[in-house]
Structure formats: structure tokens, C-alpha cells
Structure 1
Amino acid sequence: MSDSRKLGTLLVLAFLLMANANAVFSGWLLQSIYPFTLLFWGFLITTLFFFVRLSLTQGRTALKIPLASLSGLITLNLASGISWIGYYCALKFIEPAIVSALMGCIGPIYIAVTSFMSQRQLSANQVITSFGIVIGTAVLSWASITDHSAIQNVSLQHVLLGLGSALIGGFGQVLTTLSTKGLAKQNWTASQIMAHRFYLLTLVAAVVAVTGQGVGVDTPSQMLAIGVVSLFGLLLPLWLLQKGIILSSPFTVSVLLSLGPLMTFLFQGFDSRLLWSNMSVIGCGIIVLSTINNFIFGQKTAKAERSNG
């Protein structure tokens, strides 16, 4: 693995640590703050920060959007909106580790499905991985629906909304990775991408928040919590992820993101509303082990093919 790929892997892992700590904290915070209010303030602060940073360090010309990049940027805005709205809606209703598992499992499945549709032969490891992910997803869904997850006494309607939001958010996460790679090939930097990728998300969050519970917050402690989420849960980790995506392959990013549930479990103990769930451990474990299996044996197969070639 080249030095740049290693650095990309480390950056994505750093993102995972910060993002999954944020998943638990945000899940707790969303019990008292409207999801779209948190989305609006978090991504408005993030966008303004990178806008100002680029203007001060590179001048206003760095903010210009080349016509050739417009379609890719629109796709990235759509993908970011789908991913983050799905993520926050899911966190409100279901266990953070399950949210991480369901969103992370979409990437490997997407790669396997596109390979099959393009008539590329799937390896045995890809088939095993896809089957394991489907089984793990079924276990997690069953745990949530039957009240055996770490969050209990949630209505079936809200559980289904949370599960569906996580899966849709995972699809947006895959599109985000692919569209980010496309802009990086056009020489976009991580800071440029961060300054322009949340226009649609911020607008949609503002409209929904205003027509719902409003964009205001009730207490200074909520304002402080939103600031913490914006800085350490969005702004910094997302910048690290953008750099990591640029330096890594989409497959590596998808594999690393699927490890999120393990890290989420490390932080769930800090939230007193979350109980221990054996079913969540089993479901997340199946997904993580299936994905790691594909990554390890896929790397060995690729090396063997290069050696034979």
C-alpha cells in the first residue's frame, strides 16, 4: 500500500472515531432538539467556516465553481442531503450502532450489485460478504422491531422509519464517496468540497425546521451542544473524511465505514438511555466480520493475481 493510501486509511479511521462518538452524543441530543434544527445549524456553521477559510487563504477565486464541475457538485449536494437527513432521522428512533451498521453495509452491497449488473464475475468472497451483510441487516432489523435493541419502547412506526432512514442514508453515503472522487479528479481540494457540498442540505433543513419546530433553541446548554456537534462531529471529521476519500479507493472507504458499529459500541456506554443488546452485538458483528473477510481475502487474491501475471 502506498504512503498516500496509508494516510488516507488513517484519516478515514480518525473520521470514524469522531463521527461515531458524535453518533451517540447526537442520538442523545436529538431527544430534545428537532433533527432539522440540528442539521440546519450544524451544516450552516460548517459551510460558513470553509467559505471564510478559503477566502482568507486562497482568495475569492478559490470559491468559483467551474462549469465542468457543476453536475458533479449537484450530485454531491443531493447525496449529502440524502445521507445526512437519513442519518439524523435514524438516530432519533433507533440505536446508534444499528444506524452505523445499516449505513455502512450499503457500500459493499452496492459494489457487488453493480459488478453483477455489469456482468463482471463476482468472487466467492464478494458473495460471502454480501450474504453476511444481508443476514446481519436482517438480525438488526428484527432486534429493533421486536424491542431487543439497545433502545426499547419505541413504536413500530418509528422503528420502521428509523430503519428505512438508515438504509436510504447509506445509499447517499455511497453516492457521496463516488461524487467526491469525481470532483477530486478535477483537482478539487477537501476544503473546496466542504465549502460547496451542503447548500441543498442547509436549505432543506431550514425550510423543514421553520415549518416544523423552528430553527431556534431553548437553552444556552443546547446552543453549546450544537456548537460541539458542529465542530467535533461535523466540521473536523468531515474534512478528515474528504481528505481520506481523495487519497483512498472507494472500496477501502466502504470497508472502513462498515467498521463504524464497533466504534459506536465503545461510546454507547456513555449514554444512560442505551441498554446492552446481545442481538445488536450479533447483527453488527456479522456485518463487520463479513466485510473484513472480503477486504482481507480480496487483498490476498489481488496480490496473487498480480504475482501470477
Structure 2
Amino acid sequence: MTDADADRYAHARPLVLAGLAATMVYNVTSAAKEVYAGHVLQTVDPFVLITACFGLVILLFQVIDRAGGGQPSVYTPRVMRALVMVNLTTAGAWLGIYLALRWLEPAVAGGLSGGVGPLAVLAWRRFAGIRTTLAEAASGAGILAACLLLAWSAAEGQGEVIAATPVETALGLVAATAGGISATLTSVWAKKLSLAGLGPSAIMARRFWLLVGFCGAVAWATGRLAGPMPSVETVAGIGLLGVALPLYALQVGIRYGRIFHVNVIVGLCPLFTLAFQAFSAWNHWSPLTVAGVALLVAAGYLGLMRPRRAGPALAAGDAP
């Protein structure tokens, strides 16, 4: 490592650590949201809840972004294409997790959604010919085993936790998996927007347009708005503390961290979800879920172990 590389690494390391810390903030707040939203979704339609909560998030970050000037100078055709893709993947991610929370134990839904993220990144890196370390490969194998164990928990041990038919459980598993893959793709496209010069507030102000528009249209066209509506307190709590705060923190993590590391840490979110479930009157632990989450956590920490080696140092956000 040259002196210039060492200086670059020393400058980037605090930013990388800040990105990892921000991702942990996402874990804690997102886990609390999953447990509470899972309870709310037993009575409120997912499309209605998404429209209300994310509509509030759009309004909040539109105000913040306009106060900061809106960064119009970076809106090139490439940036606009990335904005379209981040809207598509964001819609898939949140539709997946909210539908999964309706039918699955929160820790299972969150575990599968977070667990498939690092697997998707590793698959993409292999396809792209990017070298994978032994620790990352071992982490991926452990995460895959944990995801299979969580799916088994949903199929075999879930009846004691949440009422769902076998078909609903299968739909929940598919939704959680699809949502996790979409969330990983969102990280990739959000990284492109960050590298193009858009800050976290600018991205947050523009990434939910398709999600809110689609869910609002479905809720209106199918008469779901005539059903039970969430209270103002519920919308504010989930929208501000369960969506805006954790996603802003995650955007900071994406900006400064490596995508694989961000997704591995996000994969640890079920540990926090289990902790919140322990104090919840709505959900209780399933033994198979505890085993799956324990394996997921162990595999996730393994993925963060990287050997020191000579070579060019990467600045914050330089590599996936």
C-alpha cells in the first residue's frame, strides 16, 4: 500500500464507519416498525397503509429537499434513468415486505427480506466476474441455510404465532423473497444516484412516487378505502419513525458503505425484530425462527470479516 493509498484509506475509514453505524440505526428503527406494522396489517389493508404512510414521507422529504435547493444541476438523462429504476425497485421492495408482514411472523418476513440481499449481491458479483473472498462465500452459504430454516419455520412452526393458511404462507414467502431482491436492487441504483451527486434527502424525496401512485390507485379502484383506516397516530408513527428515519439512515449507509456490507448488516435486522417481539403483546417467538435468526446473525458477522491485504485502498462507497 503506497503512502497515497494509506492517506486515502485513513480519510475514508471514518465515513465507512459512519455508514455502518447509520445502517445499524436503520436496523433498530426498522425492526420496531416491522413488529408494529405487522400488528396493524392484520386489520388495515396493505395498499391503504402504504399510501398513507409513504405519502407522508414524500411530503416530508419534498419540503426538506426544496429547502436545500433540489440539486437540479445533476438531473442528466443517466440520473433520470436511475430515478426510474429506483422507483421500480422501491415499489417492489415495500410491496413485498408489507404483504409478507400480513401473513408471516415479523422476524421471518424481515429475515427473508434481509437475508436474500447479500445472496443477490454475491450472485451478481459472480456473474460480473468480481472476486469473492472466502469469508463472503462462507457468509453467503450460511445466510442461504438461514433463509431455508426461516422458510421452514413459516411452513411448520408459524401456526402458534400468526393465523395464516398454507396458501397465504406461501404467498408471504414469495413476497418476502421478491421484496428482498428488490431492496438489494434499490441499493445498487441508490448508490448510482449518490455517486451522481444526489444527497440522501434528494433521493428520498423522489424514490416513492411510483409506490404511492400504484398503491393509491389500487386502493381507490378496488374499494379498499372503504375498509378500516389507520389512525393519524399510526400513520405518523410508521411514516416518520418507521419509514422516514430508518430509510434516511440507510441512505447514508449506502452512500458511504459497500453494498455487500450494507446488505449483510440489514440482514441482521431480524435479531432486533425478535427482541421487539419479546416485549410485544401481538407476536411471540417461534423456536424455528429463533434458530434461523441465530444462524443469520452468525453468517452475517462472518461476512463482515475481511482480511487485510496490500493493494489500492478503497474510498467510501467505491465498491459493491
Match status 1:143 vs 2:166: no
Identity of aligned residues (%): 26
Among 178, 182, 193, the alignment partner of 2:192 is 182
Alignment correspondent of 1:211: 221
- Let me know the Cα RMSD of the aligned residues: 2.2
What residue is the counterpart of 1:228 in the other structure? 237
Counterpart secondary structure, 1:196: coil
Which residue in 2 is equivalent to 1:43? 54
Any idea what the Cα deviations from partners look like across 1:222-276, whole Å, max 9, x if unmatched? 2221111111011122112112211111122111101101111111123323222
**8 Å CA contact 1:93, 1:158 repeated in 2:** yes
**Aligned twin of 1:275:** 284
Separation (CA, whole Å) in 1 of partners of 2:68 and 2:122: 41
* Residue of structure 1 equivalent to 2:15: 4
Q: Retained in 1: the 8 A contact 2:92–2:178? A: yes
| Whole-Å separation in 2 of the counterparts to 1:120 and 1:196 | 31
Tell me what 2:253 maps to: 244
Is residue 17 of structure 1 aligned with residue 22 of structure 2? no
> What are the superposed Cα offsets for residues 177-231 of structure 1, whole Å, 9 maximum, x if unpaired?
1111100111001111011111100111101111234346756x72221111111
Counterpart residue number, 1:70: 80
**In the superposition, relative to structure 1, how do residues 152 and 229 fare at CA in structure 2: closer, same or farther (>3 Å)?**
closer
Q: Structure 1 pair 93/121, CA: closer, same or farther in 2 (3 Å)? A: same
2:125 is aligned to 115
Give the direction of change, closer, same or farther, for the CA distance of 1:239–1:115 in structure 2 (3 Å limit). closer
Distance in 2 (alpha carbons) for counterparts of 1:195 and 1:63: 16
Paired residue for 2:309? Answer: 304
CA distance in 2, matches of 1:160, 1:153: 13
Q: Which ranges in structure 2 are unaligned for 5 or more consecutive residues?
A: 1-11, 313-320
Residue from 84, 92, 98 that aligns with 1:82: 92
Q: How many residues align?
A: 301
CA contact (8 A) 2:103 2:168 kept: yes
More displaced stretch, 286-295 vs 169-178: 286-295
- Normalised by the length of structure 1, the TM-score is 0.90
Q: Secondary structure at the match of 1:147?
A: helix
Q: Partners of 1:178 and 1:203 in 2: how far apart?
A: 23
Contact 1:95/1:150 (8 A) holds in 2: no
Measure the CA separation in 2 of the matches of 1:145 and 1:289. Answer: 23
The answer to whether the 8 Å contact 2:109/2:176 transfers is: yes
Equivalent position amino acid for 1:267 in 2: F
CA distance in 1 between counterparts of 2:253 and 2:214 reads 27
Contact 1:54 / 1:63 at 8 angstroms: preserved in 2? Answer: no
Structure 1 distance, partners of 2:47, 2:268, is 27
Work out the CA distance in 2 between the residues paired with 1:105 and 1:253: 12
**Structure 1 unaligned residues grouped into runs of 5+:** none
Instruction: Report how far residue 154 of structure 1 moved.
Output: 1.5
